[in-house]
Amino acid sequence: MNSGLPNQGENLISSRTLEVARGKYKYSYTRIPPIAMVDKLPDGENFSTGWFRLLAKQLKITFVNSLITNRGNQGSMEVRDDVRMFILEVLLKGAIPFQISVIGRFLQIFPQLILKGFSKDYKELDDLFFLILKTTGLSIFQDSLNRILKLLFQGRPTGHVQDIQEYKNLFPYMDLPEIASNFQDDEVFAYMRVAGYNPVMIERVNKLGDRFPVTETQYQEVMGSDDSLAAAGEQGRLYLADYGILAGAVNGTFPKEQKYIYAPLALFAVPKGADESTLMRPVAIQCSQNPGDVPIVTPKSDKYAWLFAKTIVQIADVNFHEAVTHLGRTHLFVGPFAIATHRQLLDNHPLSLLLRPHFEGTLAINDAAQSSLIAPGGGVDQLLSSTIDNSRVLAAVGLQSYGFNEAMLAKQLQKRGVDDTKMLPVYPYRDDALLIWDAIHQWVSDYLSIYYQSDQDVQNDTYLQAWAREAGAYDGGRVPDFGEKDGGIQTLGYLIDAITLIIFTASAQHAAVNFPQKDIMSYAPAVPTAGYQPISLLKGEVKKQDYLNLLPPLEQAQGQLNLGYLLGSIYYNQLSYYPEEHFQDSSVKAALQGFQKNLQEIEKIITERNKKRPKYEYLLPTKIPQSINI
């Protein structure tokens, strides 16, 4: 074992150091029961100055966009005047907390604000928002933000729309997402299953069975008379998105209107004779788990019935995405490892040095999420379909059913039957993610092999073994199915795989499911976070207004836009770029340079792929942060 590992004979100092850490990093199982989270955010885990500056900039953009929508004019000078008058109103009504530093900064910009108004890009607001955030922190700022929003939302558009254009009007200052122009296309609907915000749902099936009785006629109307359901199943060309986990979920009503959660089944197929560029096609949708509740709908059905059914799938997909794929299987999956690392590994332990940069901001953002975003009355309660209690339970169930050893990327792809590139030729998430996984795996292998030359070295590292046992323990991290014998780690190979999964989840997997919130999910008609009509409408003729009434009312759409834009805009730090002088061991340098070079090559490969397929950029290495921090 390399001498870079801590000298385990120095037990007294080490024990005292870890005891201090364990006093700071205590587990709680009641914040999102029964998931392990930190009981109280320790000092030193707060967001950095750089992170607050990024958030302030994006808050400025959402603020100005909302103000123009709700109160503003379209002329640039008039808009700046509106911004100026609103800031004065906010201050006079006490929405901004009275802190000496905040007021002092305001007084600095006050003369310019009165004489000139704001500059064209409202740079002054960046500074003001940053100062408030840095002075008060997120928790107090949230109260202030709620007061500002109450004022800001006076005069905002409300109610269900008469035309889709009304949603586009919510983007007077922001760029309208590209998906606004093509989200109703069947090709785009299918492509989102393999390159969207939740590209982990489809599974290959051989046949459908009685639960989803798509007929041969329905299939051939879409895929052609020279194809058949049986042939497609035998040849591995049938794919199902099943949202059965949402069956029985409780419909929400917050803040004021009845919402609906759905549990549809959606069938997709790869055309016969596909080549490497052939896309999946949507074949049929059943908007219930029970056949006969409503008719099966296909692209050959009435236009608005098909659009209604596709939207039902999108609503189910986003509700699964936010609770399970995003919150449960990235944020809450990584959190326990951050806690265990602080409690069981000394700062200079090689594994601690490797992992801690990948945990930067994670405990802080998880703490902020559970106290505000997924709290009663928070953004999730407001925007998603089911009750907030239901969403929290779904996140916990989604995580607890995600065994660590089965969460390895290759195993997940194989389990869903989507690993064969000939059967499913176009799957950008799969293809790009595997490149990133392999690069991380090589880096982790090169790094850990400096300190562990054998399985025996791994077994003899008492700090490592304590870390592993605590991560999986019931009174520890409660990570399902973690470790080898007795919860420990017996082999170097397993250690490499395990650390690869942790780093991949904290970086690439979170990037893949977080950043589409801005580009795709901020536009409510494309991805409504809740439905507002029952599926029983499919029993009769579905009219245009029925479809429009299914979509969120404008006030909800604006809330979705603001939250999605914020969550999908914060690119803080970058995969493979560790803090300067972080690794003191000179033998690490070559391995790290190799990792960075691999990622640069992957950037080129993905860029070339995007010339031959619909664009998918969420796994470009330059767009993958090092940690979950938003």
Across all residues in the chain, what is the average pLDDT?
91
**pLDDT above 80 for 581:** yes
Please give the average per-residue pLDDT across 1-21, as a whole number. Answer: 66
Residue 361, SS3?
coil
φ and ψ of 451, to 5 deg: -105, -20
Return the pLDDT at 103.
54
Q: What are 239-255's pLDDT values in tens digits?
A: 999 999 999 999 999 99
Residue 119 — pLDDT band, cuts 50, 70, 90?
low
**pLDDT above 80 for 290:** yes
**pLDDT above 60 for 154:** yes
Q: Identify whether 103 is part of a domain.
A: yes
Return the pLDDT at 170.
96
Q: What are 534-577's pLDDT values in tens digits?
A: 999 999 999 999 999 999 999 999 999 999 999 999 999 999 99
Q: What are 328-375's pLDDT values in tens digits?
A: 999 999 999 999 999 999 999 999 999 999 999 999 999 999 988 899
Return the pLDDT at 542.
98
Helix or strand holding residue 610 (H, E): none
Q: Which residues contact 73 (CB under 8 A, 6 or more apart)?
A: 79, 82
Return the pLDDT at 84.
64
Q: Which residues contact 389 (CB under 8 A, 6 or more apart)?
A: 250
Return the pLDDT at 125.
75
Q: Identify whether 589 is part of a domain.
A: no
Q: What are 35-89's pLDDT values in tens digits?
A: 999 999 998 899 999 999 999 899 889 988 888 898 765 444 466 666 766 766 6
Q: Identify whether 183 is part of a domain.
A: no
Return the pLDDT at 3.
47
**pLDDT above 90 for 29:** yes
Q: Identify whether 119 is part of a domain.
A: yes
C-alpha–C-alpha distance, residues 198 and 322, integer Å: 9
DSSP conformation class of 128: H
Tokens of 189: 């609907």
Q: Identify whether 110 is part of a domain.
A: yes
**pLDDT above 80 for 8:** no
Q: Identify whether 487 is part of a domain.
A: no
Please give the average per-residue pLDDT across 442-454, as a whole number. Answer: 98
Residue 3 has a CB neighbour count (10 Å cut-off) of 8
Q: In 77-128, which ranges are E strands?
A: none
State the residue range of the domain holding 84.
49-152
Distances, alpha carbon 240 to alpha carbons 237, 341, 394, 417, in Å: 10, 39, 21, 11
Q: What are 372-407's pLDDT values in tens digits?
A: 889 999 999 999 999 999 999 999 999 999 999 999
Q: Identify whether 261 is part of a domain.
A: no
Return the pLDDT at 77.
45
Please give the average per-residue pLDDT across 150-164, as a whole number. Answer: 87
Helix or strand holding residue 28 (H, E): strand 27-28
C-alpha–C-alpha distance, residues 127 and 110, integer Å: 13
Distances, alpha carbon 82 to alpha carbons 42, 70, 79, 169, in Å: 41, 11, 5, 18
Q: What are 475-517's pLDDT values in tens digits?
A: 999 999 999 988 899 999 999 999 999 999 999 999 999 999 9
Q: In what order do the strands lie in the sheet with 265-269?
A: 203-204, 238-242, 265-269, 281-286
Please give the average per-residue pLDDT across 431-456, as a whole number. Answer: 98
Overall domain count for the chain: 1
> Where is pLDDT greater, at 74 or 422?
422
Please give the average per-residue pLDDT across 91-105, as a whole number. Answer: 55
Return the pLDDT at 604.
98
293, 262 Cβ separation under 8 angstroms: no
481, 403 Cβ separation under 8 angstroms: yes
Q: Identify whether 29 is part of a domain.
A: no
> Where is pLDDT greater, at 142 or 345?
345
Return the pLDDT at 369.
92
**pLDDT above 60 for 587:** yes
